Amino acid sequence: MMSDIFTYIIGGKAGEGVKKAGEAAANLFSDMGRKTFKMDDYQSLIRGGHNFSAVSTSIDDIYSHYMKADLVVNLDDRSYNIHKDHVKKDGMMIYNSGNTEKGEGIGLPLDEVSGNYSKSDLIKGVTGIAVLSAVVGLEKDEIENLIEKEYSKGVEENLSFAKEIYDLAEEKIDKRFTLEEGNDKSPIFSGNEALSLGAASAGLDMYVGYPMTPASSILHFFASHKKDLQIMPIHPENEISVANIAVGATMPGARVMVGSSGGGLALMEETISLAGMTESPVLFVLASRPGPSTGVPTYTEQGDLNFALNQGHGEFPLVVASPGSMEEAFYLAGEMLDILWKYQTPGIFLTEKHLSESSMNIDVDPARVEWAEPKKFEGDGEYKRYEMKDDGVSPLKFPPSEDVIKWNSYESDEKGITTEDPEKITDMHDKRREKKENLILDIQARNTVNKFGDSGPVIFTYGSTTMSVREAVKAGKIEAKIVQPKYLKPFPFWELEDYMEENAIVIEQSSTGQFASLLREKCNIVPKTVIRKYDGRPFEPIKLAEKIKEAI
Amino acid sequence: MAEDLGTGAENTWCPGCGNFGILNTMKNVVEKLEEDGIGREKLLISAGIGCHAKIFDYLNLSGLYSIHGREIATIQGMKFANPDLKVIGFGGDGDAYGEGLSHLIFAAKRNADITMIVHNNSSYSLTTGQMSPTSEKGYKGPSTPEGSIEEPLNPLMLMLSSGASFVSRGYAGKIEHLTDLIVEAVEHEGFSLVDVLQPCVVFHDDQYQKYNEAVEILEEPAETRYEAMELTEETERLPIGVFYKEEKPVYHEEIYPDLNVVEDKMSKDERKKQIEKILEERT
């Protein structure tokens, strides 16, 4: 059987190696030269509950997982009950006959087999790769390489278990899926990893973070690459410290990025304003999850758009942008770091759990990323930190220096000495406004809006939802023009003039339609339909395609 | 005294304010540090918000005028970015022992190589004299007209129990002693705290007299942390000097023993190679 898009779902308890099983499958497909998208669905707990990983693969580019699978592997009965409707008509269902009664599909005695191994829970996840190997027709000896690569810890036990399961599956499965090999190999990265690599490509020196899902894996990434990338990873006592360490570090010239989710960014807001006033270029990553408050920590939502756009008390230039794919996360993080250093102001890289923690193949070139460099002081006269310049950008000088360099949270004179003088207050406001205008001109010259498709109705979307919309349009064979503003502040109205038609559709993951409101406010675009989803789960391409068709 | 350490900014402290003693001390400190080979170009300062913080505008040294309580995090960022620099933070009792207390505890815990000088006047003076974390029980301010109902914090005890590697107290009325103390604190490798008894002539008009009578110079630091803790409990006499000092591994050196991410920054080409390697490993 040949399948254009092949989808594999593995589900089980936390602690049974489900996430790893998804990763191993994604790597297997990628090694075949195929394109892969992986989405991990997990709960806020350590052991038990229900986790699953959905991996879809195609020869062509693929921007989302699907929830109708060719192969579903369930490690426990809860998983079986949840996923029994997720099998395609001609798909295959594997369940654990050790704990699932009356299962439809093929039962394998996973409990019995795993009971003979030292890590009887964790090893169950290896079932995924063993069954998948059998189903896609890999030879038994090919498993050896796979296990060595993916399950190097306790490789002997893992291999022995995999072979046992492979033999049992071989006996019972009644069909095989043939996956065509592609010839275009590219690495798989999560959005968080991709944005980290992008910022690293722009010359990042330090990452500061306090754990909060779904941003924590950025901190983990930099901690694990401390030696090779030489980017200092710091995990301090709270988000307030995170943000202030970052601002402090920019003063001697370190390129710094920080990250958190909504609650953490709320704690950093005081410091975003400080960065605006001191003119400190810190890049803040906001990886959203459903709110308000603690909300639903391990799921996805776009409810923080207005929060991001309105960060910081007082008036200062703020840049907000959001990537529509893992690849774009790479380039955008680098581009933002560069822009922030050119204009010495804070910026927010807005994304969501669905992009942060899902993974897909990326094809990126670090050489295409600008190395973030500020305008430096090169004169031989007196150095003034906030010197008036036509473009509003005062040249930077870093300590150690014979010149005195004073950055100030108070309104100050050009030398950075606190002031309450009305003229100086006005001048400094004008300087920051001038800087903002030049920043907007700079951004206008860049690619700020992505457009996919040439005909059909206009669909506006942004952030991680872009991936769902692109895949839905493909899956539903829908003719549409997808318009995705990458920059949200300044909002690229200049690119949207051609799309102000009446039949537009807006698709976003917010219950109140914040993005639709933004389009109306900035461009007077009043959409015909706003397709919203706010159950914490990303859109599923086939279901979204149906909704788009209804709206058209 | 180094005259060129002034900025020409108008000084707006009240006449007789204890902060003048600290400002004059700092000018001496810079001179002494320069004699010891630490040039002023290598010094970075920060301050919180309050009367104390105006010292930022009055000292002609580089730095970042931070926000309330956050100067403790600001100077850590400066130090981690470029460990060749010596960083000094000025805070009030409201900054260091109130709003920014968590930063102070954790800076001590991780032995960040910073110096915090706390202008401790037991009052929120710039905001019209409300009670502070170190105000005595019964202190009357606009938010506690019937007298504070809270016991004051013992900040030195708190620092000792947080693992601080240099804990000291000075007095703004004893400039020579305070100068030596701050020089020692700055030269100490690791976290150092100098709690400075800083009389507020408006909201605590008895402080000069009280401190002049009670302060007593410690000849040497306590031998153990516990003995130092006992010293912090003394209220009849007020010991000033180094309460406790020890050598411990320094935070930034535990992350990168000899890498300065700003001064020894990896080249663009080398970074590109490293990133390509990571991409390659996943392919």
Q: Domains in chain B: how many in total?
A: 1
Task: Kindly list the distances between the CA atom of residue B274 and the CA atoms of A220, A326, A356, in Å, as whole numbers in the listed order.
Answer: 17, 19, 22
Q: What is the pTM of this model?
A: 0.97
Q: Give the per-residue SS3 of A515-531.
A: HHHHHHHHHCCCCCEEE
B80 and chain A in contact, CB less than 8 A: yes
Residue A263 CB partners (closer than 8 Å, separation 6+): A212, A291, A293, A294
Architecture of the domain spanning A449-551 = 3-Layer(aba) Sandwich (3.40)
* A232 to B255: CB separation less than 8 angstroms, yes or no: yes
Average pLDDT rounded to a whole number, residues B42-58:
98
Got the DSSP string for B17-58?
-HHHHHHHHHHHHHHHHHHTT--GGGEEEEE-SSTGGGHHHH
> Counting beta carbons within 10 angstroms of the beta carbon of residue A517, is it exposed (0 to 12), middle (13 to 18) or buried (19 or more)?
middle
Task: Name which of A369, A328, A371 is nearest A350 in CA terms.
Answer: A328
Architecture of the domain spanning A5-172 = 3-Layer(aba) Sandwich (3.40)
Token pair belonging to B252: 């930034």
pLDDT value for A3: 55
Where residue B1 falls among pLDDT bands split at 50, 70, 90? Answer: very low
Q: Which of A409, A412, A417 to mutate to test the interface with B (most CBs of B within 10 A)?
A: A409
pLDDT value for A332: 98
pLDDT value for A498: 86
pLDDT value for A133: 95
Query: Is B94 a member of any domain?
Result: yes
Distance CA A205, CA B258 (A): 15
Residues 38-57 of B with CB under 8 A from A: 39, 41-42, 44, 46, 49, 54, 56-57
Distance CA A487, CA A504 (A): 20
A372 and chain B in contact, CB less than 8 A: no
Q: pLDDT by residue (tens digit) across B117-163?
A: 999 999 999 999 999 999 999 999 999 999 999 999 999 999 999 99
Sign of CA dihedral A376, A382, A385, A389: negative
Q: Do B194 and B166 form a contact (C-beta atoms < 8 A)?
A: no
Query: Is B214 a member of any domain?
Result: yes
Residue B2 has pLDDT above 60, yes or no: no
A 10 A CB-CB count for A41 gives 25
Got the DSSP string for A161-184?
HHHHHHHHHHHH-----B-PPPS-
Sole residue written with tokens 């998804």 = A22
Task: List the domain range (segments joined by +) for residue B122.
Answer: 3-250
Q: Do B67 and A313 form a contact (C-beta atoms < 8 A)?
A: no
CATH no. for residue B65?
3.40.50.970
Q: Do A324 and A317 form a contact (C-beta atoms < 8 A)?
A: no
B241 and chain A in contact, CB less than 8 A: no
pLDDT value for A417: 98
Interhelix angle A541-551/A465-475, rounded to 10 degrees, is: 80
| DSSP SS3 for B134 | coil
Residue A100 CB partners (closer than 8 Å, separation 6+): A74, A76, A77, A80, A107
Q: pLDDT by residue (tens digit) across B54-97?
A: 999 999 999 999 999 999 999 999 999 999 999 999 999 999 99
CB-CB neighbors (< 8 A) of B75 in chain A:
248
Q: Do A393 and A384 form a contact (C-beta atoms < 8 A)?
A: no
CATH code of A188-368, in short, is: 3.40.50.970
Query: Is B277 a member of any domain?
Result: no
Distance CA B191, CA B244 (A): 12
Looking at chain A, which residues constitute the CATH 3.40.920.10 domain(s)? 5-172
* A252 to B78: CB separation less than 8 angstroms, yes or no: yes
Burial readout B142-163 (b: 16 or more C-beta within 10 A, e: otherwise): eebeeebeeebbbbbbbbbebb
Residue A2: phi and psi, rounded to 5, are -110, 135
Q: Which of B34, B58, B70 to mutate to test the interface with A (most CBs of A within 10 A)?
A: B70
How far apart are the CA of B272 and the nearest CA of chain A, in angstroms?
A: 6
Eight-class DSSP state of B98: I
pLDDT value for A1: 43
Task: Name which of A552, A426, A436 is nearest A501 in CA terms.
Answer: A552
Q: Which of A29, A232, A277 to mutate to test the interface with B (most CBs of B within 10 A)?
A: A232
Sole residue written with tokens 């959409």 = A527
Number of helices (H), then strands (E), belonging to chain B: the values are 11, 8
B254 and chain A in contact, CB less than 8 A: no
How far apart are the CA of B242 and the nearest CA of chain A, in angstroms?
A: 27
Q: Which of A183, A241, A373 to mutate to test the interface with B (most CBs of B within 10 A)?
A: A241
Distance CA A5, CA A3 (A): 6
* A186 to B57: CB separation less than 8 angstroms, yes or no: no
Query: Is B256 a member of any domain?
Result: no
**Any idea how long chain A is?**
552
Task: Kindly list the distances between the CA atom of residue A74 and the CA atoms of A5, A81, A118, A135, A299, in Å, as whole numbers in the listed order.
Answer: 21, 9, 21, 15, 21
Per-10-residue mean pLDDT, chain A, length 552:
82 95 96 96 93 97 97 96 94 93 88 94 95 93 92 93 96 91 93 98 98 98 98 98 98 98 98 98 98 97 98 98 98 98 98 98 97 93 96 98 97 98 98 98 98 96 98 97 98 92 92 98 94 98 98 94
Token pair belonging to A227: 């030696």
Token pair belonging to A100: 């699932």
Q: Which helix (H) or strand (E) holds A200?
A: helix A191-201
Q: Do B50 and B70 form a contact (C-beta atoms < 8 A)?
A: no
pLDDT value for B3: 57
Looking at chain A, which residues constitute the CATH 3.40.50.920 domain(s)? 449-551
* B42 to A399: CB separation less than 8 angstroms, yes or no: yes
Question: What residues pair up with A320 in beta bridges, in sequence order?
Answer: A348, A489
Of residues B57, B75, B279, nearest to A248 (C-beta)? B75
Q: Where are the beta strands (DSSP E) in A375-501?
A: 406-408, 449-452, 458-460, 481-485, 487-489
First to last CA, chain B: 64
